A and B are shown apart, each in its own frame.
Chain A
């Protein structure tokens, strides 16, 4: 897992979960509060409805008392009591009741004897007032009466003539829910007779209300919605009848909850999005400096170099990253130091090897280190960079390492060399290259080892390269090698003087030697005293004493021009 992913997940995940959770909680809380408030308001509405209904009940009872004072009805009732079995008398009273019902607009009117026995009645069936089958109906004095499918809400008043009670008049209206401002159900002994809850079958309402048994206020689920159910308790019904109002909490709170949900949704998505962006930025800000360090490390791995990091606080404001880079720098420094030690130890070793090789023959003892010194001197005068100087120093030390592979009998032959001997001798650069090729870190010295016998005009060996096709380092070593060879004694000749050797070099400049290097070398020889020749001190110190600073400047510029030509 990448660090960025990890930072993102640890940062964003818990926060998003926490936020979603708290939003959900707050929303639920608000929902509950809203529902509570709505429940209270519904309850209040319900109470005021009940109050109004009980008021209208009182008015109805007054109206009923007035109705009981109807003289014609009294006369009719008297007739009916006098002629209880006479169908015409019943018809007479039925006519009276019909007319009364018509005038009053009621749907049910019944006259009973003082004993409560029904005598005559009319009821409205299919918009017609028809005579009632009194044998079948025994209505209560008040409450509800169900005849076939029709339910009537009824009320009664006594009919008195002076002190005598003539009977009872029962008046009824078809019960419907138009007087209720809320949906309601009419229940008798747990059975739902009528319902004004839209779109829900009676059976469902009945089964849902089953859980309300014995409770005054209860909440039920109908058709996926919550309803608050309250009984209309202020009105007496009797006979197992009951009216419960059913008010949908959901539809009352829906619009408000919808708004709330939208607010929460917008806020939630907005916050989530903001969190997402912030988290990404945060993880990026952590990872970016690390990625910078990592890319430098990769580069270091690729190049093998251990570059130093900039630990400027302005560039990396993060302290941890600074500490990391500083730590890396320290480690890099230690490694570099170790590597240099190792390298110089190796070089010392190889140099010792070369010296040992030289020392086998008293004539060539110290040859490699002198060549190295001359070459360094030339390179310094030519103002080559430190890296090249170092390359030249070590390359010159090792330049004759290939002579290991050539028989001593040839190398130390006091006589003139035959052609075969020369052929053997001429293999030493190639052998040297082959020896050093396999050693890691010696690649920079290979050109010197291989090509320090190539001539300017292409007559050298082993390849026969011309002029600047031969690397500068090899050309320098070529000059230095030749000079040292001439100024030391050999079994077959005596050593030449420095001036003589220099003259020969100058003679062969442009044919055997690089014409730009020979004058430089000549300057050095002129300034140099052999007895005082100093050993160079590695690694520091450009030896300014070789040439006065004033003399060095024109030499440098001349050299650069030569180099270019």
Chain B
């Protein structure tokens, strides 16, 4: 990472903050293309509706575009340490799922984990950016964790192995989630060279180096997962 890459956005932000050069900041936008289905989410149904049978497969509605859901799972952010504004996020435990299953927050943010189920849950993570174990706690109790390092933190429950979630702690405020069509937009990025990252839980990280100019919107497209033939996918 060279010095320009670090300083230019800071300057841009600074100038933007003082309102002198608002037009100098520009947008990054693009489309994430997911080639094929990446996850096969399985969950259990609500606690009291048990009956013998296979576990319910979510999103198996044939009318729904499976790839749309996959696209919506993609998180896009910029690498590089820039000033960020910590936020407070909530990850509920309801119907033995973490809701939402993906949380995107800038570094320094705090997440609370309320248990809304009538049963005990346990929230823990062995991920490098933040290792924690909140222990078992019952309904209507909540415990919080502050994430001070960027990175992806995978969250699980000891009691319910099929409960899983990910919290993406971005190094700065520029982050976005793709919509169902795969479109994303990072606004107000000062001109300069950046590394833009697209992350999918199952596909991992896809990095691209870009240069943002002041006068026009930069376009970046991602093919997920990596290594797939784009033309073949485009034809599909």
Chain B residues, Cβ within 8 Å of A127? 51-52
Contact B119 A92 (CB under 8 A): yes
Chain B residues, Cβ within 8 Å of A72? 158-161
Q: Which residue of A lies closest to B163 (CB)?
A: A72
Contact B44 A99 (CB under 8 A): yes
Contacting B at CB under 8 A, from A72-125, are 72, 75-76, 79, 82-83, 86, 88-89, 91-92, 95-96, 98-99, 102-103, 105, 124
**What number of B residues sit within 8 Å (CB to CB) of A?**
20
Given contacts A95-B119, A128-B51, contact A71 B138 (CB under 8 A): no
Chain A residues, Cβ within 8 Å of B118? 88, 91
Contact A76 B159 (CB under 8 A): yes
Chain A residues, Cβ within 8 Å of B44? 99
Given contacts A91-B119, A92-B119, contact A102 B50 (CB under 8 A): yes
Chain B residues, Cβ within 8 Å of A124? 52
Contact B159 A88 (CB under 8 A): no
Contacting A at CB under 8 A, from B100-149, are 118-122, 136, 138-139
Given contacts A96-B160, A102-B52, contact A75 B122 (CB under 8 A): yes
Q: Does A129 contact B (CB under 8 A)?
A: yes
Given contacts A76-B159, A96-B160, contact A89 B52 (CB under 8 A): no
Chain A residues, Cβ within 8 Å of B139? 88
Given contacts A75-B122, A86-B138, A99-B44, contact A92 B52 (CB under 8 A): no
Q: Does B47 contact A (CB under 8 A)?
A: yes
Contact A105 B52 (CB under 8 A): yes
Inter-chain CA distance A72–B158, complex, in Å, is: 6
Chain A residues, Cβ within 8 Å of B53? 102
Q: Which residue of B lies closest to A107 (CB)?
A: B52
Contacting B at CB under 8 A, from A197-227, are none
Contact B138 A129 (CB under 8 A): no
Chain A residues, Cβ within 8 Å of B55? 102-103
Given contacts A72-B159, A75-B158, A96-B159, contact A89 B47 (CB under 8 A): no
- Which of the residues B50, B51, B120, B161 comes within 8 Å of A89, measured between beta carbons? B120
Chain B residues, Cβ within 8 Å of A91? 118-120
Contact A79 B120 (CB under 8 A): yes
Inter-chain CA distance A323–B76, complex, in Å, is: 138
Contact B159 A92 (CB under 8 A): yes
Inter-chain CA distance A129–B136, complex, in Å, is: 25
Inter-chain CA distance A127–B53, complex, in Å, is: 10
Interface centre among B53, B96, B136 (most CB of A within 10 A): B136
Chain B nearest Cβ from A281, distance in angstroms: 80
Bits for B148-160, please: 1 = Cβ < 8 Å to A, else 0.
0000000000111
Contact A88 B161 (CB under 8 A): no
Contacting A at CB under 8 A, from B48-66, are 50-53, 55
Inter-chain CA distance A102–B96, complex, in Å, is: 16
Q: Which residue of B lies closest to A98 (CB)?
A: B50
Inter-chain CA distance A89–B139, complex, in Å, is: 10
Inter-chain CA distance A103–B53, complex, in Å, is: 8
Given contacts A89-B138, A99-B44, A102-B50, contact A71 B158 (CB under 8 A): yes
Chain B residues, Cβ within 8 Å of A86? 138
Q: Which residue of A lies closest to B136 (CB)?
A: A79
Chain B nearest Cβ from A561, distance in angstroms: 133
Chain A nearest Cβ from B45, distance in angstroms: 10
Chain B residues, Cβ within 8 Å of A128? 50-51
Chain A residues, Cβ within 8 Å of B158? 71-72, 75
Q: Which residue of B lies closest to A94 (CB)?
A: B119
Inter-chain CA distance A405–B97, complex, in Å, is: 162
Chain B residues, Cβ within 8 Å of A103? 55
Interface centre among A88, A96, A103, A128 (most CB of B within 10 A): A88
Chain B residues, Cβ within 8 Å of A98? 50
Chain A nearest Cβ from B116, distance in angstroms: 13
Inter-chain CA distance A128–B50, complex, in Å, is: 7
Inter-chain CA distance A76–B121, complex, in Å, is: 10
Inter-chain CA distance A83–B122, complex, in Å, is: 14
Inter-chain CA distance A179–B159, complex, in Å, is: 35
Inter-chain CA distance A99–B53, complex, in Å, is: 11
Given contacts A88-B139, A91-B118, contact A79 B159 (CB under 8 A): yes
Inter-chain CA distance A298–B209, complex, in Å, is: 147
Contacting A at CB under 8 A, from B177-224, are none
Interface centre among B50, B55, B122 (most CB of A within 10 A): B50
Chain A residues, Cβ within 8 Å of B51? 127-128
Contact A88 B160 (CB under 8 A): no
Chain B nearest Cβ from A126, distance in angstroms: 11
Inter-chain CA distance A82–B119, complex, in Å, is: 15
Given contacts A76-B159, A89-B138, A92-B159, contact A129 B50 (CB under 8 A): yes
Inter-chain CA distance A102–B45, complex, in Å, is: 12
Q: Which residue of B lies closest to A74 (CB)?
A: B158
Inter-chain CA distance A393–B52, complex, in Å, is: 134
Chain A residues, Cβ within 8 Å of B122? 75, 79
Chain B nearest Cβ from A406, distance in angstroms: 144
Q: Which residue of A lies closest to B160 (CB)?
A: A72
Chain A nearest Cβ from B115, distance in angstroms: 9
Q: Which residue of A lies closest to B96 (CB)?
A: A95
Q: Which residue of A lies closest to B120 (CB)?
A: A92
Bits for B35-47, please: 1 = Cβ < 8 Å to A, else 0.
0000000001001
- Which of the residues B47, B52, B136, B161 comes within 8 Å of A95, measured between beta carbons? B47
Chain A nearest Cβ from B151, distance in angstroms: 25
Chain A nearest Cβ from B142, distance in angstroms: 15
Inter-chain CA distance A82–B158, complex, in Å, is: 15
Show 13 A/B contacts (Cβ-Cβ < 8 Å), sorted by A.
A72-B159, A72-B160, A75-B136, A76-B159, A79-B120, A88-B118, A88-B139, A89-B138, A91-B119, A92-B121, A105-B52, A128-B50, A128-B51
Chain A residues packing against B (C-beta within 8 Å): 71-72, 75-76, 79, 82-83, 86, 88-89, 91-92, 95-96, 98-99, 102-103, 105, 124, 127-129
* Given A72-B159, A99-B50, A102-B52, 10 additional A-B pairs, CB 8 A: A72-B161, A76-B159, A79-B120, A79-B136, A82-B136, A89-B136, A91-B120, A92-B121, A95-B119, A127-B51
Nearest first, the 9 A-B pairs at minimum CB distance are: A75-B158, A92-B119, A92-B120, A88-B138, A79-B136, A72-B161, A91-B119, A75-B159, A95-B119
Chain B residues packing against A (C-beta within 8 Å): 44, 47, 50-53, 55, 96, 118-122, 136, 138-139, 158-161
